[in-house]
Amino acid sequence: MRYNEKELLSLSRQRAEKAAELSMRGPKKGSVLKKRLVKLVVNFLFYFRTDEEEPIGALLLEHCRVLKEEERGFSIHFIDEPDRKYVFQCSSKEQCAEWVEALTNASYEFMRKSLVFYRNEILKMTGKDPLEQYGISDESRFQIEPATL
């Protein structure tokens, strides 16, 4: 994936949907859990050393699965790279459940499916396509795919 480092840095400074200090282990062999400030902004998960303002990394939350690992832990697995797994440890099981839900709902694909679902519900209730007024109702990205019917 291509990205502009300045834009990514600017995005990391935006208001987060969720942020906390969590223990994190990266995908490298022999990695250990380290305290990191973890910040969810749109569909990026930024992680920082706790004493620094610039992120040391970012995960694009697309084509990945967020799985609850144990009572207070979860992991992020990338579908195209099964060996690439990030593990996180929270301070409580409630915090863990909140992170799993927030990360699961952060992907573009989840948001697109939600938009399509609510678009169809509004269409059923009102008989009008809510996207029509924006001139985008026929765009393929907002259509229901036959497999999801």
Mean pLDDT score across all residues of the chain:
87
Q: What would the two tokens of residue 60 be?
A: 């694009």
Q: How far apart are CA 61 and CA 74, in angstroms?
A: 14
Q: What would the two tokens of residue 139 be?
A: 């765009």
Confidence grade of residue 1 (pLDDT, cut at 50, 70, 90): low
Q: Do the Cβ atoms of 126 and 133 come closer than 8 Å?
A: no
Residue type, 145: E
Q: How far apart are CA 75 and CA 91, in angstroms?
A: 15
pLDDT of residue 5: 84
pLDDT of residue 149: 39
Q: Express each pLDDT in 58-79 by its tens digit.
A: 999 988 999 999 889 999 999 8
Output Rg (C-alpha) for the chain, integer angstroms: 18
Confidence grade of residue 131 (pLDDT, cut at 50, 70, 90): confident
Q: What would the two tokens of residue 3 be?
A: 């990205």
Where do the H-state alpha helices sit in the chain? 5-12, 93-104, 108-126
Q: Do the Cβ atoms of 40 and 19 come closer than 8 Å?
A: yes
β-strands 57-60, 34-41 pairing:
unpaired
Q: Is residue 21 within a helix (H) or strand (E), and if so which, with residue range?
A: strand 18-25
